[in-house]
Amino acid sequence: MARVPFIAGNWKLNLGPAEAGELAEALASALADRGEVEVAVFPTALSALTVAGAVEGSGIEVGLQEIHSAASGAFTGTNSARMAREAGLTRVLIGHSERRQLFGETDAGVRAKVELALAEGLLPIVCVGETLEERDAGQVEAVVHRQVAAALEGLEPDQVAAITLAYEPVWAIGTGRTATPAQAQEVHASIRGWLRAHFPAFVAEDMRIQYGGSVKPGNAAELLACEDIDGALVGGASLKADSFAGIVAAVR
């Protein structure tokens, strides 16, 4: 069975409830006839309920950009997987490079969050990707495989099937510098190879692996045409309805 393409928008620290609600309404109408493609958006936690209300009935999914690595307790200033689920959200981003680089996220933290999310029935997008120094040092595969292994190894195949991976080279995020389709495809194929070696065949065949890093309407089609690129995780270009819709329309 072919993998259904999956386009997600990470709104990061942008758009409070009013603006986020407007964008969500615009997306619900712009994407009404999107065909067979899955779409999710990740507003700030404070805007998530407004967005969920605005896209209700559109099939657009809404998730949190981050959850805490403990289920509950004295952890000022964060949100839990259970709260996301209770609020009616369905998805969560885990291990985004900004969390890893700016907020001290670790492979172990990513794993804890994956398990909490799965326990609550949330569908995680787990982000992996190398820095420019790691790429220049020839460590792309080692780094990405290590991150994927930390997140997935030892989980039940059924659990892994609930997860989407996003390959986001850190040097391509928010820089306007996109990986070439060939560069991205090479890493995506290598991740799928790792999945094949560690899980039953259906896991590798069904797993959506998104590309992220300066995806725009103008470069989305050639990236999405690659065999192992099953969607996109979009930052900057997801903040406007027309550019995000342009990326969704690039799915063939």
Closest CB to ligand PGA among residues 50, 219: 219
Q: What count of Cα atoms within 13 Å lies in the side-chain half-sphere of residue 18? A: 0
Please, what is the minimum distance in Å from the beta carbon of residue 215 to ligand PGA?
A: 5
Q: Any catalytic annotation for residue 198?
A: no
Q: Does 44 interact with ligand PGA (rule: CB under 6 A)?
A: no
> Quick one: DSSP state of residue 74?
S
Contact 89, 63 (CB under 8 A): yes
List 38, 61, 66, 96, catalytic entry? 96
Site string for ligand PGA, 164-183 (x = CB under 6 A): ----x----xx---------
Q: How far is CA 93 from CA 8, 84, 97, 132, 226, in A?
A: 10, 12, 11, 22, 23
Q: Any catalytic annotation for residue 168?
A: yes
How many helices (H) does the chain have, and how many strands (E)? Answer: 12, 8
List 66, 168, 188, 198, catalytic entry? 168
Q: Does 234 interact with ligand PGA (rule: CB under 6 A)?
A: yes
107-119 helix and 140-152 helix, angle to the nearest 10 degrees: 40
Q: Does 215 interact with ligand PGA (rule: CB under 6 A)?
A: yes
Q: Near ligand PGA by CB under 6 A, which window of 23-31, 68-76, 192-200, 208-216?
A: 208-216
Size of the site for ligand PGA (CB under 6 A): 13
- One of 5, 7, 10, 167 touching ligand PGA (CB under 6 A): 10
Q: Near ligand PGA by CB under 6 A, which window of 52-60, 76-84, 234-242, 243-251?
A: 234-242
Q: Does 109 interact with ligand PGA (rule: CB under 6 A)?
A: no
Tokens in use for 82?
Answer: 């259970």
Q: Near ligand PGA by CB under 6 A, which window of 28-36, 105-113, 154-162, 206-214?
A: 206-214
Closest CB to ligand PGA among residues 204, 231: 231
Tell me the one-letter amino acid at 198: H
Q: Does 39 interact with ligand PGA (rule: CB under 6 A)?
A: no
| b/e per residue 68-100 (b: at least 16 CB within 10 A) | bbeeeeeeeeebbbbbbbeeebebbbbbbbbbb
Closest CB to ligand PGA among residues 144, 173: 173
Residue of 247, 249, 238 whose CA lies nearest to 174: 238
Dihedral sign, Cα of residue 121, residue 163, residue 249, residue 167: positive
Residue of 108, 93, 35, 75 whose CA lies nearest to 235: 93
Give the residues lining the site for ligand PGA (CB under 6 A).
10, 168, 173-174, 212-215, 233-237
Catalytic residue ranges: 96, 168
